[in-house]
Amino acid sequence: MPTNIDELFALLDKFKADGIIPLAHGGVPWQDGTLWEAVVLSVGGPDFYKKAVLDADPAALSSDTMKKVFDDMSKLRTYFDPNFSGREWNLSTALVIEGKAGAQEMGDWSKGEWLRAKKVPGKDFVCIRFPGTQGSVLFNADQFMMFDVGDKQKDAQLKMASAVEDPAFQIAFNTVKGSVPARTDVPDTQFDDCAKKGMKDLAEASSKGTLMGSLAHGYAQPAAVKEAMLDVITQQLNGQLTTEAALKRLPEAVAAAK
């Protein structure tokens, strides 16, 4: 299993030599952003991720570190198949399940597709952090929002919140979906190898201060800024912008969106 991005490239080269799609990717903005933010974290580490993504610092967005990020994205693009544009994430997952592709970079929800295909974690497939990001987690979470509707309905709201956060429900829901519980005190005894690792990684990142919001999934920037950044990221990945142009355009797009 690759532990840094250079080892990832070496692995993808082996997949290519085996005659399969090295990296199954769906070419839509949120998927492009999911891959990009993982590369940002891998190349720059958590402190750089905080500056570039969470703070949208103009200097970080146009830095030499970001140049390497975009260059690595261009290289990753060479490992996609010709039909990647517009493909939904679950169809890319299916390519890996069927042995037509070697790997996919995606959130842990994709594991649900593997479980539905009767595949066993740790035997038929493995789950790892994006190479170079071990110790940090970029989170995306399902949420319930409740309006302040007065005391009459508050009891029902509290009952729902209690049910959702109950460890038994957290186990039942996450073992089916493929994700990990939002609560870090839920025991992992009923979870598979992938989920056990995900739960351990989440607790570690939370304790270290390296649990950070995902840009692509709306937890790092307001919607307008997120969409502006994803637009530049997708254009660069598709070859519509050079790395140099993207480095100039990215901070400009953020400033305009603010």
pLDDT digits (tens, 9 = 90+) for 74-96: 999 999 999 999 999 999 999 99
Backbone angles phi, psi at 23, to 5 degrees: -135, 115
218 has pLDDT over 90: yes
Query: Residue 51's pLDDT band (boundaries 50, 70, 90)?
Result: very high
Span 112-117, average pLDDT: 93
What H or E segment, with its residue span, contains residue 228?
helix 223-237
Contacts of 232 (CB under 8 A, 6+ apart): 241, 246, 249, 250, 253
User: For position 152, what pLDDT does the model report?
Assistant: 82
Q: What are the pLDDT digits (tens) for 138-180?
A: 999 888 899 998 888 999 999 999 999 999 999 999 998 889 9
Angle ∠(71,250,88) on CA atoms, nearest 5: 70
- Whether the CB-CB separation of 39 and 107 falls below 8 Å is answered with no
Q: Which residue has 């970079």 as its token pair?
A: 105
Q: What is the DSSP letter of 125?
A: B
Class of domain 5-140+211-257: alpha beta
220 has pLDDT over 90: yes
How do 101-104 and 21-24 pair as beta strands?
A: parallel
**Residue 4, both tokens:** 């840094």
Question: In 10 A of CB 20, how many CB atoms?
Answer: 18
Span 26-43, average pLDDT: 98
User: For position 149, what pLDDT does the model report?
Assistant: 87
Residue 95: is it exposed, middle or buried by C-beta count within 10 angstroms (0-12/13-18/19+)?
buried
Residue spans of beta strands (DSSP E) within the chain: 21-24, 101-104, 137-139, 211-213
Contacts of 82 (CB under 8 A, 6+ apart): none
Report pTM.
0.94
| CA atoms of 147 and 154, how far apart (whole Å) | 9
Q: What are the pLDDT digits (tens) for 122-138?
A: 999 999 999 999 999 99
User: For position 143, what pLDDT does the model report?
Assistant: 85
194 has pLDDT over 90: yes
Q: Which residue has 């974690």 as its token pair?
A: 121
